[in-house]
Structure 1
Amino acid sequence: MKKTSPVAPPSRGPSDHDVRTQIVEAATEHFGHYGYEKTTVSDLAKTIGFSKAYIYKFFDSKQAIGEVICANRLSMIMQGVDEALSEAPTASERLRRMFGALVEGGTTLFFHERKLYDIAAAAASGPWPSVRTYEDQIRKLVAQVILEGRESGEFERKTPLDETTNAIYLVMRPYVDPLLLQYNLDLATEATGQLSSLILRSLAP
């Protein structure tokens, strides 16, 4: 008689993925209300109804939870940038829209989700891996727009690409870095337009 392999019983309770999502969602709400710095893992455990030890099964620290939340928020800003660039007709307009969308996304987060913005600011002071990823995405996008402008004849081609990319990022940084933006909010809208024009003049062939 042919033997059959024993069938594992169905797992009980939520999957690890569901638990992680539940913890992140609860932490996002809690941090959004009380702030990141003032919240402990014990506070989150009480809010969710889990033990502190159970939360540590999925995240090794409060920062690890904050890291996911920060990455989610920065990803939302980049999605807004992608939408802003989707129908830009020229590389020059793409650069303007990119700068504007980055500043708009950051200021919206600051004014409407200030407690969560504080996580991004704390992450930038680290910097946490999510912020490094965010910065890399911006630099790559800047380089891509520069290449498009060079191919179309809008931008000069003599300056090394990495030098141009880094210079543009440094000009933009006070208005796109979460830690620095909070000190430049009064000038952010005006600066976006004027600095975009300055950058584009410097890129002219």
Structure 2
Amino acid sequence: MEDRPVRTATGADEVRARILDAAEQRFRRVGHYRTSVADIAAELGMSPANIYRFFPSRDAINESICGRVVDEVAEIASAIARAEAPAKQKLDQLLTAVHQHNKMMLVNARPMHELIVVATPRNWPIIQAHTERMVTIFERIIREGIETGEFDVEDAAEAARAVRSAFMPFLHPILIEHCARHRENIEAGLRGQIRFILKSLSKSG
């Protein structure tokens, strides 16, 4: 099989996207553990060598697919942050929506959930970038709340990091899976933790 070289930046981007599309489809069917570079190449009628022209390693493909998955979460959060609503309401909706998305991925897209489970404790660069992006979104909402008098904190950035830490049991894929496996009442815990976070940010009295 002879692969035709891609000569333009646009063409290279298109091929990279095709490779990632094929990889993601296979990941969703059988999981990343059961997908090799040869499998992805076969889906596209390419040689494995051609895949490596665009991705230096199999790990690079895994991380790119992981990026697509976490981008879905960040887009949900960004859309809520941009909405015209009180800061308290937006933060409540954001935390709830992100948790529900992650929980539904466990049920309906388990192979992708498993990829995130692998990526999170290893702190892949894409996970680090996603974490910073989410903290920035939290900070934006908290700043709005400070400006409107809904929140009473001195440092919005510090408060955003504290919100992420406080909400970790409902964000981390391994912790979500643990609760589901042990049939814990995660919804009651979710509502209670959100109330705690909002009260901690709010003006006293």
Q: TM-score, normalised by structure 2?
A: 0.84
How far the C-alpha of 1:86 sits from its partner, in A, is 4.1
C-alpha separation in 2, matches of 1:123 and 1:172: 19
For residue 199 of structure 1, what is the aligned residue in structure 2?
Answer: 197
Q: Deviations over 1:81-135 (max 9, x none)?
A: 2333444521111110110111022122222111122112211122112211111
Following superposition of structure 1 onto structure 2, how do residues 113-192 of structure 1 map, counting pairs within 5 Å? 113-158=109-154, 160-185=155-180, 186-192=184-190
* DSSP 3-state at the match of 2:150: coil
For residue 15 of structure 2, what is the aligned residue in structure 1?
Answer: 19
How far the C-alpha of 1:161 sits from its partner, in A, is 3.3
> Structure 2: which 5+ residue stretches go unaligned?
1-6
Give the total of aligned pairs. Answer: 193
How far the C-alpha of 1:204 sits from its partner, in A, is 2.1
Q: Deviations over 1:157-190 (max 9, x none)?
A: 34x4343222211111121133433223444433
Q: Report if aligned partners of 1:74, 1:134 keep a CA contact under 8 Å in 2.
A: yes
Q: Percent identity?
A: 24
> Structure 1: which 5+ residue stretches go unaligned?
1-10
C-alpha separation in 1, matches of 2:146 and 2:22: 47
- RMSD of the TM alignment (CA)? 2.1
Greater gyration radius:
1
Closer, same or farther: CA 188–70 of 1 in aligned 2, 3 Å: farther
C-alpha separation in 2, matches of 1:77 and 1:187: 23
